[in-house]
Amino acid sequence: MDKPKVFILGAKGRLGAALARTWAADSEVSAYGRSEADLARPASIAGMIRSERPDVVVNCAAMTNVDECETSRDMAEAVNATAPGVIAQATSAAGGRFVHISTDYVFSGDAASPYAEEAIPQPVSWYGETKRRGEVAVMAAGEHHAVIRVAWVFGPDRDSFIDKALHAALRGEPVRAVADKYSSPTYTRDAAEGLRPFLRDGAPGGIYHLCNSGVCTWQQWAQEAIDAAAKIGVPVKTRLVEPLKLADIKAMAAKRPVYSPMSCSRIEALLGHPMRGWREAVDDYVRLLRDEGRLAAGC
């Protein structure tokens, strides 16, 4: 079977870099960062797609600073809402599939249990609203396209919240994290495998959720990382993550969904197995950092 020709947009980010690395062995991957493919100029990306005719285009790029989206609304709409639709239309015209990475922030956070793929989005921020508009534009461009919602992405290609918590713990600094906001983390290693079916024609289009199973707060997420590091001999000096309340963080300009875990039933049915738990994924990631020498004392 011929290798699929895959374009990855946003390839310098956590997820995009993981996809480019993981899929390189069995796909013809072209990875583009912002300097090569800027969503603020979608017409140039569309032209490239029409010329090169990739089988799959995966869009990991977005304007993701939630607070900046509130103050730069036109840019957020251009990048998160308008550009995905333009690029999805070009992908359809070229005979390919567009896979668009979205977010749990399309939900209000008022649910009592994890959101299913069929749940009605009700964004509470401009970031969430623009991402939802992007989802609608992508699906309008072709029912074979896919929208993949992820949350709290972490992985080795770019530091995330838990990397910063680990480094602070290594230095003996206080580690504080919000204890009243809930979601489901997404390890890029697991996401790369979960997205693999979309490289072929077998995966139906539509909305999917892709994250590790289980529910946690930022405090629990950071605490698991520090506990995992201590268990494998990493010399963390700070062992306890102090709780914060979301309402006490005054620097946040945008409202966040307080409860946005997601059920991954559609993608689990596609894969034939459940997504592994977030604690196991965090422990695996911490071991990787230790083995690569990235958790030395004084980091």
Which residues have a catalytic role annotated?
127
Looking at residue 251, its pLDDT comes to 81
**26-54 per-residue burial string, b: 16 or more CB within 10 A, e: under 16:** ebebbbbbeeebbbeebeebbebbeeeeb
The CATH number of domain 5-159+185-213+261-278, selected from 3.40.1350.10, 3.40.309.10, 3.40.50.720, 3.20.20.70? 3.40.50.720
Looking at residue 297, its pLDDT comes to 66
Looking at residue 298, its pLDDT comes to 52
Run means of pLDDT, 10 residues per run, the chain, 299 residues: 92 97 95 96 97 98 97 98 98 98 98 97 98 99 98 97 97 97 98 94 93 98 99 98 92 92 98 98 98 81
HEC assignment per residue over the chain: CCCCEEEEECCCCHHHHHHHHHHCCCCEEEEECCCCCCCCCHHHHHHHHHHHCCCEEEECCCCCCHHHHHHCHHHHHHHHHHHHHHHHHHHHHCCCEEEEEEEHHHCCCCCCCCECCCCCCCCCCHHHHHHHHHHHHHHHCCCCCEEEEECCEECCCCCCHHHHHHHHHHHCCCEEEECCCEECCEEHHHHHHHCHHHHCCCCCCEEEECCCECCEEHHHHHHHHHHHHHHCCCCCCCCCEEEECHHHCCCCCCCCCCECCECCHHHHHHHCCCCCEHHHHHHHHHHHHHHCCCCCCCC
Looking at residue 90, its pLDDT comes to 98
What are the backbone dihedrals phi and psi of residue 34, each rounded to the nearest 5 degrees, phi first?
A: -65, -35
Residues linked to residue 32 through DSSP beta bridges, in sequence order: 9
**What are the tokens at 84?**
């995905």
Looking at residue 248, its pLDDT comes to 86
Instruction: For residue 256, give the amino acid letter.
Output: R
Instruction: For residue 75, give the amino acid letter.
Output: M
